[in-house]
Amino acid sequence: MTSNDSSPKSTNVSKQIPMLSRPRRNRKSASIRDMVRETQLHPSDLILPLFVIEGKHQKIEIESMPDFFRLSRDLIVEEAKMAYRLGVPALALFPALTGESKDRLATESTNPDGLLQQTVKEVKSAVPEITVITDVAMDPYSSDGHDGLAEEGRILNDPTLDILAGMAVSQAEAGTDIVAPSDMMDGRIKHIRQALDQNGFSEVSILAYSAKYASAFYGPFRDALDSAPKHGDKKTYQMDPANRQEALREVMADVNQGADIVMVKPALAYLDVIATAREQFISPLAAYNVSGEYLMAKLAAETEWFDGQRIITEIITGIKRAGADIIISYHAKEVSKWLIES
């Protein structure tokens, strides 16, 4: 009678099949994995964006951005000190103004005693080693909420350029290290570069938002600054999310006009654009890990199915692996802490 023994046959663990290539050899220990890692994250890769408000000792949580806050100038200075201790080399400052400070011509943007200008002075006085980056666009100051001058439903490109140039010069006078035009008006990089040079600020750099898409990922940012457009949308100046070749044209134009650093915004849905820009251009390349991307990661991390630290680190690593030299991210502080602790 035949036995129906169904027990598993023993495995010959000593059996080896001859193979010249075994990629797993480079994964067999943590130390070897570290040695062959192709993309290394470091706090110096990161820029911390911050939202500044009037007042003192003010820390107001942004409902659409968990664990992120609008901060008064004194607390911005403390954030600058902490970021620098963590190895984060730069801050990107965005002013959150009240409605009374806004008008059609963004007049407040050139006020030497304005919120942004005073914040720049205080940060540079307290932490002179940290790099300060300031946003150049009309929307935080405009009663229309657009990045350019609005008239009868249109965004006027050329009349906007002088406003942006004046804004950049005012920020340079306050002591900013880098101005960052995020407006997407045609010709603004050349116009700003000339204005800076003519006013004695040839050492102030320009980080151009070169490929800035008309993205749905900006909602929490606009909530933080109350800068959503009051009419229409931004599709006549920000780029169509479907386009990649257009991004290369925009990057090339900004490089030719004097941009020192170019940027793709957003990051996650545009890794192909980052990678292509990296292949085509030798200029330093930044990417903006935007507010909507931050919110998605934070909400995912609140569930039992995701390890928050791992997914956030994986996202930032992916952006760098795609080709970004610099990453603006609301995760900058926590990622830097994790890198130091690892």
Of the candidates 102, 124, 190, 212, the residue annotated as catalytic is 212
Look at residue 14 and give its three-state secondary structure.
Answer: coil
CA-CA distance, 321 to 325, in Å (whole number)?
Answer: 9
- Contact at 8 Å (CB) between 169 and 195? yes
- Contact at 8 Å (CB) between 329 and 47? yes
Pairing label, strands 46-53, 149-151 = unpaired
| DSSP label at residue 26 | G
- Contact at 8 Å (CB) between 153 and 143? no
What does the buried/exposed string (b/e) look like for 304-342 if buried means 16 or more CB atoms within 10 Å of the residue's CB? Answer: eeeebeeebbebbbbbbebbbebbbbbbbbbbbebbeee
Asked if 265 is an active-site residue, the reply is yes
Asked if omega into 266 is within 30° of 0 (cis), the reply is: yes
Beta strand ranges found along the chain (DSSP E): 46-53, 59-62, 65-72, 90-95, 131-136, 149-151, 154-156, 178-181, 205-212, 261-265, 285-289, 326-329
Q: Is the dihedral of CA 193, 196, 199, 201 positive or negative?
A: negative
| DSSP label at residue 100 | G
The shares of helix, strand and coil residues in the chain, as percent rounded to the nearest 5, are 45, 20, 35
CB atoms within 10 A of CB 48: 26
Of the candidates 265, 298, 320, 333, the residue annotated as catalytic is 265
CA-CA distance, 97 to 141, in Å (whole number)?
Answer: 7
Asked if 230 is an active-site residue, the reply is no
CA-CA distance, 142 to 231, in Å (whole number)?
Answer: 12
Look at residue 208 and give its three-state secondary structure.
Answer: strand
The catalytic site residues sit at 212, 265
